[in-house]
């Protein structure tokens, strides 16, 4: 895509308004994963925006970063004007308001605006700190202003329905996670010592049950989704999880196909919750022991016993899951060879005992990468050679037919480790890696370690300085100016407890552990009383319709057009668009039965991608009492531009649809087929081509017998009338490529429109 945009000189544009990125006031970038950093430069390059903040003299656009990687902003500090540290909902509004006021009343100077933004809680301005390096190359930051020496993270006191988007952007293509995402809580108090998120998002703040139902109901209506993913660092700890799941399953007219649950601890899989889980289609289920031995789990404060892991696996398989993922880390602090061996022992024990029939266990083994603001932030990361050695041991010893071993590329982990605890010296490394061609480094098929090796060599940066080097207790850290709320003394104490294999209890259920985040006035945990029964409020119960009997539905036949940019929708995308449109406008459709119910909707033909049509036909079962005109009006209000319902009527079984012949208008951009070739084709008695059918059998087609007519409308437009051949729909593009020898690249530029079914 990048190469195509460069070739066509198309800059990065916004999705809704097609406005160039460089013409915006603010560009916000979520920093979720270190191996996506090169994509930031790719985006700026395509937008014709200078990489370095110091080279962008104008006040706008402001480049602002946020997300978990912003808690060590230093590797990206030279590129960003500002970072939002912590919860961004309120901070984003404050920044926007300040920018609006500055544009109306300010002096137009970028430094003036940045000074104003620095007054907002959670906003870090990198240019207001000067890096100083000692002889060993260790960075300290010197503040430019005396009143701006540290940046305390922005904090959202409560999570309500007001700060959650209920109408998210809905892509027409199928994304990786094609479901409604519902954040049920933020923060985690389990205290795993390797986990950055568990430290920087403290304390736990739950959304109320009623707010979640209101959000889910509005979001399902706005999007047409059927599947829901419950998001939290520890979803199983939500106070009213069974009640929440039961209510969610009753929403969406009872057709919520699946609720995606991350890992749930054994003690949380109560009989009540298990009965609810049985009602839905099973998505993936992950259990994260992190370590194979109890000793190492205690070191990282996992608070998880082998008995608990075993019970969770047993329950999950009994509930109908066919695949369970076990997540482990290699190279944790104080790890020994016995701990790696324990991964194999535990995994094989679980597979032998519970993975029956077609059930499998996926064992995922990734390298431990020390992260900022954690008790292990000063620890050394194991070397590339050590990682490969441990991984080879797992490959050799996890030899069980029910176990599939998966792992992250060790080289990827090494590069990630460089960025996780890097400083400003790495800015030149990022530019060099980008210029070498590094992109999409978080994807195995795109990551090229040789390019990173060249970048390290060209810049003179030693990756081991950032990965394999243990930091002294008094060594300044690049992220020292960022105050996550967790006291440095608490992190040191937790590291000492790790050495002693000592556990720290969860403050959710025990006394305060003294991490320093809470002041218990404004900043404090937000937890809700656990309900004893899954009672439903009247307001929710009244608006949940019962499933209608089959005889309440009838089959409708609709005609629709697919024009303009809508021609690029594939058949599956088109089906999803119509299904979600039906849900969004509140039409009641008939569904199939079973754990994975699907809407009873089908098409007469599958139109090829890139082809327009003035009239296509679909069939759908809807409640029988609704008027066809009402169906048309409702759907046309929510369908995307280019798709329009043109007719609707009750399906007549006695009247057979005649779609054996179709007419197409073909408009060429730079040339047209030669009249002599058209005449020669029409004079043929036959033109046989062969290809493979869907069943992988050789199929012969007489293209000449499929063509009734080819005529010229003007110098660059022809009409082609085609009919079925042996029950096969022959397409214009096939004739243009097979007989007229037009290349595929040229075919893509030709506009083909289906105008009638004769």
CATH code, domain with 567: 3.30.70.580
Strand partners, 649: 557
Position 222 in a domain: no
Question: For all residues of the chain together, what is the average pLDDT?
Answer: 92
- 300-350 residue pLDDT tens: 999 999 999 999 899 889 888 889 999 999 999 999 999 999 999 999 999
- The pair of structure tokens assigned to 240 is 């009213």
- 182-202 residue pLDDT tens: 999 999 999 999 999 999 999
Max Cα-Cα span within the chain: 91
Position 513 in a domain: no
What's the pLDDT score for residue 147? 96
Q: Which among 650, 672, 701 is the end of a domain?
A: 650
If asked whether residues 588 and 480 sit together in one domain, one would say no
**CA triple 617-622-627, angle to 5 deg:** 85
Helix (H) or strand (E) holding 112: helix 110-117
Position 10 in a domain: no
Q: What CA–CA distance (Å, rounded) separates 25 from 335? A: 49
Q: Which among 650, 677, 697 is the end of a domain?
A: 650
If asked whether residues 641 and 665 sit together in one domain, one would say no
- 601-649 residue pLDDT tens: 999 989 999 999 999 999 999 999 999 999 999 999 999 999 999 999 9
Contacts of 200 by beta carbon, 8 Å cutoff, 6+ apart:
68, 71, 86, 153, 373, 484, 486
The parent domain of residue 698 ranges over 661-757
Position 111 in a domain: no
Local structure of 469: helix, strand or coil: coil
CATH code, domain with 675: 3.30.70
Q: Which among 619, 650, 681 is the end of a domain?
A: 650
Q: Is 117 in contact with 102 (CB distance < 8 Å)? A: no
If asked whether residues 695 and 733 sit together in one domain, one would say yes
Local structure of 208: helix, strand or coil: coil
If asked whether residues 632 and 682 sit together in one domain, one would say no
If asked whether residues 603 and 690 sit together in one domain, one would say no
Query: Which one, of 179, 121, 117, lies nearest residue 150 by Cα?
Result: 121
**CA triple 741-742-744, angle to 5 deg:** 120
If asked whether residues 708 and 581 sit together in one domain, one would say no
- The pair of structure tokens assigned to 317 is 């398989």
pLDDT exceeds 90 at position 401: yes
If asked whether residues 380 and 430 sit together in one domain, one would say yes
Position 296 in a domain: yes
- 223-281 residue pLDDT tens: 999 889 999 999 989 999 999 998 998 876 555 667 887 767 767 777 778 778 777 76
If asked whether residues 675 and 570 sit together in one domain, one would say no
Position 140 in a domain: no
**For residue 579, with 0-12 CB atoms within 10 Å meaning exposed, 13-18 middle and 19 or more buried, which class applies?**
middle
What's the pLDDT score for residue 333? 98
CATH code, domain with 306: 3.30.750.200
If asked whether residues 629 and 705 sit together in one domain, one would say no
**Domain total of the chain:** 3
Contacts of 533 by beta carbon, 8 Å cutoff, 6+ apart:
243
Position 405 in a domain: yes
Query: Which one, of 609, 612, 603, 650, lies nearest residue 628 by Cα?
Result: 650
- 103-130 residue pLDDT tens: 999 899 999 999 999 999 999 999 999 9
- The pair of structure tokens assigned to 148 is 């701006």
Q: What is the pTM of this model?
A: 0.90
- 502-531 residue pLDDT tens: 999 999 989 999 999 999 999 999 999 887
500: how many CB neighbours lie within 10 A of its CB?
9
Q: What CA–CA distance (Å, rounded) separates 575 from 588? A: 16
Residue 61 preceded by cis peptide, ω within 30: yes
Position 2 in a domain: no
- The pair of structure tokens assigned to 61 is 């656009």
If asked whether residues 316 and 426 sit together in one domain, one would say yes
If asked whether residues 632 and 672 sit together in one domain, one would say no
If asked whether residues 645 and 726 sit together in one domain, one would say no
């Amino acid at each position: 895509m990048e190469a195509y945009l460069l070739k066509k000189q198309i800059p990065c544009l916004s999705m809704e308004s097609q406005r160039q990125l460089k013409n915006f006031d603010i560009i916000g970038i979520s920093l979720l994963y270190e191996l996506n950093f090169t994509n930031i430069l790719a985006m700026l390059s395509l937008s014709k925006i200078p990489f370095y903040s110091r080279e962008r003299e104008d006040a706008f656009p402001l480049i602002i970063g946020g997300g978990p990687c912003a808690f060590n902003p230093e590797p990206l500090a030279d590129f960003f004007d500002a970072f939002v540290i912590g919860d961004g909902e309120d901070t984003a509004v404050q920044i926007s308001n300040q920018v609006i006021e500055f544009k109306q009343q300010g002096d137009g100077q970028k430094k003036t605006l940045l000074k104003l933004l620095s007054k907002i809680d959670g906003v870090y301005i990198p240019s207001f700190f000067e890096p100083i390096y000692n002889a060993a190359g260790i960075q300290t930051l010197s503040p430019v202003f005396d009143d701006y020496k540290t940046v305390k993270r922005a904090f959202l006191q409560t999570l309500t329905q007001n700060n959650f988007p209920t109408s998210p952007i809905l892509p027409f293509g199928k994304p990786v996670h094609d479901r409604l995402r519902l954040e049920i809580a933020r923060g985690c108090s389990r205290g795993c010592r390797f986990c950055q998120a568990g430290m920087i998002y403290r304390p736990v703040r739950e959304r109320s049950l009623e707010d979640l139902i209101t959000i889910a109901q509005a979001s399902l209506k706005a999007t047409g989704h059927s599947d829901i993913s419950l998001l939290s660092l520890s979803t199983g700890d939500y106070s009213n999880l069974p009640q929440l799941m039961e209510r969610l399953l009753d929403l969406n007219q009872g057709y919520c196909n699946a609720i995606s649950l991350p890992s749930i601890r054994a003690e949380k899989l109560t009989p009540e919750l298990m009965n609810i889980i049985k009602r839905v289609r099973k998505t993936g289920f992950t259990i994260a022991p992190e370590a194979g031995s109890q000793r190492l789990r205690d070191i990282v404060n996992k608070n998880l016993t082998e008995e608990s892991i075993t019970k969770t696996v047993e329950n999950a398989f009994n509930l109908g899951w066919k695949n369970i993922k076990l997540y482990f880390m290699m190279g944790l602090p104080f790890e020994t060879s016995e701990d790696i061996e324990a991964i194999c022992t535990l995994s094989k024990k679980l597979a032998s005992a519970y993975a029956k029939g077609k059930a499998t266990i996926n064992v995922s083994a990734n390298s431990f990468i020390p992260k900022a603001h954690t008790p292990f932030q000063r620890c050394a990361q194991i070397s590339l050679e050590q990682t490969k050695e441990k991984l080879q041991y797992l490959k050799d010893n996890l030899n069980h037919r029910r176990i599939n071993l998966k792992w992250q590329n060790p080289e990827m982990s090494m590069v990630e480790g460089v960025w996780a605890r890097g400083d400003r010296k790495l800015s030149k490394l990022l530019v060099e890696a980008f210029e070498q061609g590094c992109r999409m480094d978080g994807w195995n098929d795109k990551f090229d370690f040789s390019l990173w090796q060249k970048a390290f060599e060209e810049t003179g940066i030693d990756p081991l300085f950032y990965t394999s080097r243990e930091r002294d207790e008094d060594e300044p850290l690049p992220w020292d100016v960022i105050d996550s709320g967790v006291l440095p003394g608490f992190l040191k104490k937790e590291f000492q407890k790790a050495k002693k294999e000592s556990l720290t209890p969860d403050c959710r259920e025990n006394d305060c552990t003294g991490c320093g985040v809470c002041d218990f006035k404004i900043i404090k945990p937000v937890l809700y009383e656990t309900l004893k029964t899954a009672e439903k409020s009247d307001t929710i119960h009244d608006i949940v319709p019962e499933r209608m009997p089959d005889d309440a539905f009838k089959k409708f036949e609709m005609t629709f057009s697919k024009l303009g940019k809508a021609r690029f929708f594939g058949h599956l995308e088109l089906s999803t668009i119509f299904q979600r449109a039906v849900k969004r406008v509140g039409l009641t459709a008939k569904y199939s039965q079973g754990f994975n119910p699907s809407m009873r909707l089908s098409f007469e033909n599958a139109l090829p991608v890139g082809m327009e049509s003035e009239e296509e036909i679909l069939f759908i079962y809807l409640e029988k009492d609704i008027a066809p005109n009402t169906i048309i009006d409702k759907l046309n209000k929510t369908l995307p531009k280019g798709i329009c319902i043109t007719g609707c009527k009750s399906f007549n079984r006695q009247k057979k649809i005649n779609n054996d012949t179709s007419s197409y208008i073909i408009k060429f951009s730079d040339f047209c087929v030669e009249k002599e070739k058209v005449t020669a084709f029409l004079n043929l008695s036959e033109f046989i081509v062969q290809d493979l059918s869907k069943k992988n059998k050789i199929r012969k087609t007489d293209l000449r017998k499929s063509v009734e007519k080819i005529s010229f409308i003007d110098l660059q437009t022809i009409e082609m009338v085609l009919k079925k051949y042996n029950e096969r729909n022959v397409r214009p593009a096939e004739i243009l490529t097979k007989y007229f020898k037009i290349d595929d690249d040229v075919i893509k530029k030709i506009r083909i429109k289906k105008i009638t079914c004769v």
